[in-house]
Amino acid sequence: MNKFYKYLCGRKFVLVTDHKPLLAIFGSKTSLQPYAAARLHRWSVFLSQFEYAIEYRSTNDHGNADALSRLPLADPAMEDEEAKEVNLIACENIDKIPVTHKQIKQSTARDKELSKVLLYVQSGWPRQLSSEETYLQHFFRKRDELSTSQGVLLWGIRVIIPSGLRKQLLSSLHESHQGIGKMEALARQFVWWPDMDNEIECLAKSCTECCSSRPDPPTAPLHPWQFPEGAWQRLHIDLAGPLFNRMYLVVMDAHSKWPEVFDMSSNTTSQKVIEKLRDCFVRFGLPEQIVSDNGRQFVSREFKQFCHSNGIRHTTSSPYHPRTNGEAERFVNTFKQSMMQSIDELTFRLQRFLFSYRCTPHSTTIIAPAELLIGVVHALSLTS
């Protein structure tokens, strides 16, 4: 159609294809779903400038077009470079999740349910499922949004995981014990399968470590802090511990929800706190305001002088009301739970927790802290 554009534009013509799904995708009475692959949207926009009808012809009667497309290329260097790039990008993105592209491809071919869906996506869906195929209803409703890439099923940009790999993927999602909301937000960026949300919820509710450390519900609603206009304007700081005979300095950005955690060992003097904050400010700059409790490290003359010299407004919480500094207090609780539930070496526990927390969409902003602060989104998990 690019080649014969001058002959086709402004004239009505017929497209004949042996790929039956194209009738439903590019038919005159069909509108693409928002989750459809971006490639289909581009083709739809391109075809909208023509006046055409589309017809289906079986492969056996389509030899006049198939003859040329099935001839082997004499020179491998003449292969379509654009197609190679698309396949390379798809494979690289799939390999970022805890299971590899090859594992998903092999498991999809062996899966009774997904192998049938793969066949229908490639050859065309029937008008209506038979009584023996009612288990495919989840996929039948999304049939216009499904696509394949090298033997792997995709719903939009999300990979459809076979049943044999779902348990492994759920275990990887839950290794940081982040809770139902964060697990679902992280999974919805990359993967999908029928009833995925319910399986995530059941896993989190059946986890012994999560149930034993579940916090009590809040006693009364709190008056929230005003949400900062930009990142790194207001920081909430607190000391966490003792945890494994160590104290940790927690720094939380109120806008991006980006956390910093510093190992203080057993030295929690004002000088040590200032040293860690200075190290943090070297990387991200000076904030406009710091919020802390009334700990002796934060109300000392040395700390006040540090804030005054750097033009930072220091605000302390109300005495005997730690919830005033709830931004830091809530993160301290999450941090302690994750550290106590992990069995890895202590330093690696902290590194993996921060890595996972920073790249997972936050429940308040619905955006990953790493994306809000530095514009970067990492992979799913950190492995040793």
The beta-strand segments (E) located in 135-283 are: 146-149, 152-155, 158-160, 191-192, 234-243, 246-253, 259-265
DSSP-assigned states of every residue in 75-96: -GGGS-HHHHHHHHHHHHHHTT
Residue 85 CB coordination number (10 Å): 10
Every domain of the chain and the residues it spans: 5-64, 89-211, 234-374
User: What tokens were used for 162?
Assistant: 């076979």
pTM higher than 0.75 for the full model?
Answer: no
CATH match for 234-374 among 3.50.50.60, 3.30.420.10, 3.20.20.70, 3.40.430.10: 3.30.420.10
One fold for 89-211 and 234-374:
no
Please give the pLDDT value at position 290.
92
Long-range contacts of 321-325 (CB under 8 A, 24+ apart): 322/293, 323/222, 324/293, 325/236, 325/238, 325/291, 325/292, 325/293
Provide the CATH number for the domain formed by 89-211 in this structure. Answer: 1.10.340.70
Q: Residue 45 in 3-state DSSP?
A: helix
List beta partners, residue 14: 53
Task: Please state the separation of Cα 298 from the chain's center in Å.
Answer: 37
What is the pLDDT at residue 313?
Answer: 92
Pairing of strands 158-160, 152-155: antiparallel
Q: How far is CA 186 from the centre of its chain?
A: 4
Give the model's pLDDT for residue 220.
Answer: 59
Q: What is the pLDDT of residue 273?
A: 92
Residue (of 240, 293, 295) closest to 263 by Cα position: 240
Residue 336 is predicted with a pLDDT of 85
- pLDDT for the residue 314: 92
Return the pLDDT at 53.
Answer: 87
* Average pLDDT of adjacent 10-residue blocks, the chain of 384 residues: 86 86 72 68 83 84 67 54 50 59 87 88 85 84 86 87 87 82 86 89 85 70 75 89 86 90 86 91 91 89 92 84 76 84 77 87 87 71 54
